[in-house]
Structure 1
Amino acid sequence: MMSIVISGPAVEPVTREDMKTHLGADGVDGPQDDLIAGLVKAPRFTESGSPGRAR
C-alpha cells in the first residue's frame, strides 16, 4: 500500500543553522543558504519517493 503525504512536518528535525555548523559554514551568509536549506529537506523527499520500503 502506498503512503500519501498530506502535509509535511511543522518544523524540520535539523535546522539550517545546525546544518551550517555541521558543514563548517556557520557565520557565513550568502547564496549557499538556499542550498543548505535544500540539503536539510532532501532526505525526507528521497525516502518518501522510495517504493517498496517500510515507512
Structure 2
Amino acid sequence: MTEKLIQLRVDDDVREKADEVFKHQGLTTQGALKIFLTHVANSGDSPFSKIFDSHQ
C-alpha cells in the first residue's frame, strides 16, 4: 500500500490542545488523524454528515 503525505496548518494553540487530548487517550495527533480518515474511508460516512446535510 502506498501512502500520501497530508499537510495542514492549524493554530499552535489548537495543535497543543489536541495533542494533550490525544495523549491522554494514548494517541498521537498523527495517529488520531489516521484513525479518523480510515474510519471515514471504511464507513463511507463522516461525523460532519449531519451538520452539512442539514444545510442542503
Q: Which has the higher helix share?
A: 2
Give your verdict on TM over 0.5: no
**TM-score normalized with structure 1 length:** 0.37
**TM-score normalized with structure 2 length:** 0.36
Higher relative contact order (CA 8 A, sep 6+): 1
